[in-house]
């Protein structure tokens, strides 16, 4: 019956039906009506996660849904990505909306009825796969946006490109080198062309942010990320006779401590923060053998170009010189990862009123710079982009710490999905509205 309620409402508007802003009450009703559908999609994706460049089942579900809406579909973009193109009945700009698709090599804990039990081998280790960063919710939200906007195709003054992107978490080689994938590969394959995209929007759900809130930041919002790989070569010896060898474990320990001085002594933290983290170290095989070599891998986070160069050089200097001082050799490799996520200031200024009108000034909050990284930045290098954050803090953990993203206990509150659906949809129609000629917008 609801479908018969919307049509007369539009007919009564007459010429004003051309106003894109007039679609927002209808969008809100439809987002509310399909909330359970959004949650159902999310739970299905959560129960069946797939790693980057392997999102075959996921992509199939998305492509079938978009086709059922009459949306033009492109598959196998950047290996497993899906792109849908919805052309409104009226001319106007092209807006892209992006959701990421991949899960993580994390074994889920907890007792959710839709808990993932999927396993795989990753970097030579058996592990579970889990949507431990909220990508399952991003896909479900964007699928709902696609359904709502497709139902209003006759009233849209522009084109919407739905980008379902694989491998946001990255694909890496044996030494931590980033393999071109995800958003970077999509851009190389022309996802922002044919039709050419004027602006792109994306969101990320955040487990620590209050459900029902939106957070944003103009300019540098998330960090650039690079991968660190250091191989230390010493000399093997019996553990009882250390003077006969060169201990790569001791030298690696000194290197790790030395790397911490980069942030504490070389970086201007108030102006341009940075992080250097060693995430794993491997060496040795037996309790009484000093091994020949040791290896460590880690992550580097920076926000500015010059800061990025400085940190890279200091890592190189510290590792090689500490190793040399102990008689060892350090081979340092830094793989360039994602650039910083930089929200276009003009686009944020232009579109922020849309989010405030939807959710209220007190629930649209300015966010500090985030040291996490996002390959949404590759889209933003080419066109104006606005990436914001959606609150998803579990309602039973309002006053206690919540599990971080990328951890086995990560959970989000599903009641915030409806706001995400509305926010992306409102940004589209408000962007279209602002692009319309003044005479048509004010026509009585």
pLDDT tens for 234-291 read 999 999 999 999 999 999 999 999 999 999 999 998 888 899 999 999 999 999 999 9
pTM given for the model: 0.88
- Give the pairing type, strands 364-366 and 214-216: parallel
Q: Which of 143-147, 177-181, 423-427 has the lowest mean pLDDT?
A: 177-181
Out of 100, 152, 168, 229, pick the active-site residue: 168
Parallel/antiparallel/unpaired status of strands 178-179 and 90-100 = unpaired
pLDDT at 48 over 90: yes
- Quick one: what percent of the chain has pLDDT higher than 70? 94
User: Backbone dihedral region of 70: left (phi > 0), alpha (psi from -120 to 50 degrees) or beta?
Assistant: left
Q: 430-441: per-residue pLDDT in tens?
A: 999 999 876 455
pLDDT, the chain, mean: 93
Give the Å distances, CA to CA, from 99 to 90, 175, 320, 326.
25, 28, 41, 48
- How many other CB atoms are found less than 10 A from the CB of residue 362? 8
430 in active site: no
More confident residue, 443 or 84: 84
Predicted local distance difference test score (pLDDT) of residue 18: 64
Q: According to the model, what pLDDT value does residue 188 have? A: 98
Closest residue by Cα to residue 387 from 433, 337, 347: 347
State the pLDDT at residue 397.
87
> Of 55, 102, 169, 229, which one is the catalytic site residue?
102
Residue 132 pLDDT more than 70? Answer: yes
Q: Are 297 and 123 in contact (CB under 8 A)?
A: no
Whether 294 and 282 have beta carbons less than 8 Å apart is answered as yes
Q: State the Cα–Cα distance between residues 284 and 287, nearest whole angstrom.
A: 8
Residue 425: is its pLDDT beyond 80?
yes
Q: Is 168 a catalytic residue?
A: yes
DSSP label at residue 194: T
The answer on pLDDT for 161 being more than 50 is: yes
Q: pLDDT over 90 for what percent of the chain?
A: 87
pLDDT tens readout for residues 207-242:
999 999 999 999 999 999 998 999 999 999 999 999
The whole-angstrom separation of Cα 261 and Cα 86 is 51
Residue 162's SS3 state is strand
- DSSP letters, 174-189, are TTSPEES-HHHHHHHT
Q: What is the mean pLDDT of residues 173-201?
A: 92
């Amino acid at each position: 019956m609801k479908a018969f309620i919307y049509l007369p409402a539009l007919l009564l508007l007459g010429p004003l039906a051309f106003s894109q802003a007039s679609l927002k009450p209808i969008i809100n009703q439809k987002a509310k009506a399909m909330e359970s559908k959004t949650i159902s999609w999310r739970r299905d994706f959560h129960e069946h996660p797939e790693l980057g460049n392997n999102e075959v089942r996921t992509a199939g579900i998305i492509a079938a849904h978009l086709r059922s809406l009459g949306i033009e579909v492109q598959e196998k973009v950047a290996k497993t990505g899906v792109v849908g193109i919805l052309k409104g009945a009226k001319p106007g700009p092209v807006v892209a909306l992006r959701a990421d698709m991949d899960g993580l090599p994390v074994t889920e804990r907890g007792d959710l009825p839709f808990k993932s039990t999927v396993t795989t081998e990753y970097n030579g280790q058996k592990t579970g796969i889990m949507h431990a960063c909220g990508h399952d919710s991003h896909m479900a939200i964007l699928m709902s946006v696609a359904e709502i906007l497709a139902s209003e195709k006759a009233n849209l003054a522009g084109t919407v490109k739905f980008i379902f992107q694989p491998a946001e978490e990255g694909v890496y080689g044996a030494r931590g080198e980033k393999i071109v994938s995800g958003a970077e590969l999509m851009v190389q394959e022309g996802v922002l062309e044919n039709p050419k995209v004027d602006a792109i929007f994306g969101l990320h759900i955040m487990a620590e942010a209050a459900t029902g809130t939106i957070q944003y930041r103009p300019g540098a919002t998330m960090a650039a990320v690079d991968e660190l790989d250091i191989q230390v070569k010493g000399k093997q010896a019996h553990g009882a006779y250390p003077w006969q060898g060169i201990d790569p474990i001791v030298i690696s320990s000194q290197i790790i401590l030395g790397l911490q001085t980069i942030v504490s002594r070389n970086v201007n933290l108030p102006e341009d923060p940075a992080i250097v983290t060693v995430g794993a170290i491997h060496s040795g095989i037996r309790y009484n053998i000093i091994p020949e070599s040791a290896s460590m891998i880690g992550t580097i986070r920076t926000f500015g170009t010059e800061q990025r160069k400085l940190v890279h050089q200091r890592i190189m200097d510290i590792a090689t010189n500490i190793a040399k001082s102990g008689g060892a050799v350090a081979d340092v490799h830094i793989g360039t990862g994602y650039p910083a996520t930089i929200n276009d200031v003009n686009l944020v200024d232009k579109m922020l009123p849309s989010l405030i009108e939807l959710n209220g000034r007190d629930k649209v909050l300015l966010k500090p710079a985030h040291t996490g990284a996002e390959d949404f930045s590759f889209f933003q290098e080419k066109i104006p982009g606005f990436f914001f954050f959606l609150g998803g803090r579990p309602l039973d953990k309002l006053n206690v710490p919540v599990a971080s993203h990328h951890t086995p206990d990560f959970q989000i509150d599903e009641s915030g999905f409806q706001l995400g659906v509305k926010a992306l949809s409102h940004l589209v129609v408000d962007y279209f509205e602002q692009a319309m000629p003044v005479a048509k917008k004010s026509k009585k």
